[in-house]
A = this chain, B = another copy of it.
Amino acid sequence: MTIKISIDCMGGDFGPAVTVAAAVSFASREPDVAFLLVGNEEILNAELKKYSYLNHPRMTVVHASETVEMDDPIEIALRRKKDSSMRIALMKVKEGEAQACVSAGNTGALMAVSRYVLKTMSGVDRPAICSILPNQKKLPTYMLDLGANVDCEPLHLHQFAIMGSALVSALEGKARPSIGLLNVGEEDIKGNDVVKKTAQLLRADHERGLLNFYGNVEGNDIFKGTTDIVVCDGFVGNVTLKAVEGLGRFVKTTMTDAFKSNPLNILGALIARGALKAISKTMNPSNYNGGSLLGLRGVVIKSHGSADKYSYEWAIQRAFDAVKNDVLSRIATSLAELMPASEETSNSDLNQNTPQENA
């Protein structure tokens, strides 16, 4: 069965030069994918022509006259640019013409427009961003929220845990993935009020056999792989993610400088190039590109704005896998099973709210 993915081709730092190239490359190795390429028709056709993919049966160009810029305020993206490539790409999911959307545009705008166009799932107050980080067990650690919600209540963190659990269950084939609550210590008495109350909600689910709640985890547990999922609010998640990305770049620079510092080190690096390649493969942030916007009535994947072709292909892969593994209905089922009736909020009410300021 062909999976159709709409691409916001104008989003990201490099626009069509990266997004079209990545889509072409993905289509060339994956026969079961078709793309709706959304953006300036002329530019997109020119890009497709470069790769001899113009009028390719699995590549459909959809014109959009506007582009959401990386520094556009949410208001502009939401209310002014009604013919943006971002919005049209999301509309294609809404209308059922595509099963997933990928965008490297401004995160806040993407979340707001996604909420507006697709609406949130029943039982979800606020969608969250979930990405993977590598860990010492050579498995992915799924972490959420990574920046959609800078102020969270326990009920939001609870929903993130439910959605994360359903996602990992679908993608990794684990019946009961383990959930850690990010905190400043392992003991129950540690942390602020929001975290303590969230732990109570998760512990209750665990006791009822509905979720596999491990308990509190600390920052280092992300990379130890202590749990499959790490739940936190979007402020903590965003700061942590960017800090580890920053350290990653710092390590890379330090290594490059050291191995180039004199002929002996250059020679050593040449001889041990297999080791350096293996390190680079494990640590390459491109392999972890593609954050899922969870809690929407549609699959939306956010790519890093600075993604190159290789990195953007990973974001497309996440979209493809999410559709293939039926992530959406898995999450909806979990929410229906797990959310206490009292906590569930009417979806129609929620979608009338002004979207939150996002990271």
Q: Which A residues lie at the B interface, using CB under 8 A?
A: 73, 134-136, 147, 150-151, 182-185, 189-193, 218-224, 232, 234-236, 238-251, 253-255, 258-259, 261-262, 264-276, 278-279, 282-283, 357, 359
Contacts and interface: CB of A to CB of B under 8 A. Distances in A.
A249 B220 contact: yes
A220 B192 contact: no
A247 to B, nearest CB: 5
B264 A268 contact: no
A248 B268 CA distance: 23
Nearest to A251: B251
A261 B236 contact: no
B191 A219 contact: no
Contacts of A254: 278-279, 282-283
A134 B275 contact: no
A274 B262 contact: yes
Contacts of A283: 251, 254
Contacts of A271: 264-265, 267-268, 271
A235 B274 contact: no
Nearest to A265: B275
Contacts of A238: 184, 218-219
The dominant DSSP class at the A interface is: helix
Contact of A259 (B224, B235, B275, B359): B275
Nearest to A242: B219
A246 B221 CA distance: 7
A279 B255 contact: yes
Nearest to A246: B220
Nearest to A258: B275
Contacts of A241: 219
A135 B250 contact: yes
Contacts of A184: 147, 150, 234-235, 238-239, 359
Nearest to A250: B223
B151 A192 contact: yes
Given A240-B219, A275-B259, A246 B224 contact: yes
A243 B265 contact: no
Find the residue from A73, A189, A251, A279 having the highest chain B CB count within 10 A.
A251
A269 B275 CA distance: 9
A221 B250 CA distance: 11
Nearest to A261: B275
5 contacts: A150-B184, A151-B192, A220-B243, A262-B274, A264-B271
Given A244-B247, A258-B274, 13 more contacts: A73-B189, A136-B253, A184-B234, A220-B245, A222-B247, A224-B246, A243-B244, A258-B279, A262-B274, A264-B272, A268-B270, A268-B275, A272-B272
A78 to B, nearest CB: 15
Pick the 10 closest A-B CB pairs, nearest first: A268-B272, A219-B242, A220-B246, A219-B243, A268-B271, A184-B359, A258-B275, A223-B246, A265-B275, A223-B250
A239 B182 contact: yes
A271 B262 CA distance: 11
